[in-house]
Structure 1
């Protein structure tokens, strides 16, 4: 779904960087901890966790392109990046104090298996936490896109059907997989777009379900979708601000 580092940064990366500190706060990442970022992408959560004093942070992602991009960005930071599958993490049991996943768990083929792996590599008493966009209405950038896409094409693959994106779903998964003291929190951020094109460009890089769908459209179909979105979001031609909400869950490893 996501594969090209620069295109991802222009589309979702800026949101990830803004959301990352909220997940770190929710997971209570503290000084001196060993932290794992599962599905690290271009490194937003890894670098945010590394800002906590004396943390030792490892980011893993299945995409070699993302890992190479993040390694270049590291530029001396005390982080490391490895290519790895969330469903088969290459670490010993109880290696980390915190295992986190930001906007990635819903793209894993078997999220339950990935959660078991995150729990396995987290020490007893450590915390496993993740956040997923509320695609049904809370992530306004994508909600506006899919509302207008579906109005033009009822067969458009609306992301509101994404797994783990509704209230209670992540928390239920955490409880079903043996984590204790499970908590859920709604994380909210905002993003200001300087112009409509600042918003629209993100969909033209082929990233994620929305970008992939946009790439399948003919030139006239893309123009029609662009026009509807422009009328909805920036009819006056000025910049605008959109809100994004994510559901987050955390739980304690007790085995």
Structure 2
């Protein structure tokens, strides 16, 4: 059986000649929840951009479910991939209501013809999905997304990313802009969502505590290469001081 993701000899070079991704090889089996650590300039966001199709590799290959998507556009890869960004303002349409955003999310990766949107028929389903989050989002189905709190907006982004089960979920420091309490709540929701839906997930985090607590695999990136790759057993034996030895944060 093919992996959810394979990057084979991946290289990404920018105009200055510097290699942001440097002969990187990475395989992600289905159902794996991998956390990614690395200092500034380690290549974390570039890696996600290469996976999602926002950037193309200079050389090498990207495979999703065994299919070569190296030269496929970001739009084509959307049928496989969902992504939640660091900024709560990204990933949602601020002038559209919570319900309207969720309706759009249901169409991710699908052809969109001219037809009635049938929003009213979906309200009960959206209410149930939002109610599971536990932050009152279900009471704001008709509220423009731009009027939500940062935590509610990120929870909505996570729900939008997973309402149609993606083959690969990319979490790009999705708790970084939140206060500690809201961040913990969103991480608990994240773990629950991934576990209940058996999602394959890559999560970039700058919080080493989260990297140790969540997921069943941990990699440390530096200079566009995997410097350390630990399975769940190895990760669970680590202390925070051990992580500091791998790179300078």
TM-score interval, smaller chain: under 0.3
- Going by fraction, where is helix more abundant, 1 or 2? 1
User: TM-score under structure 1 normalisation?
Assistant: 0.24
Q: Which has the higher contact order (CA 8 A, sep 6+)?
A: 2
User: TM-score under structure 2 normalisation?
Assistant: 0.24
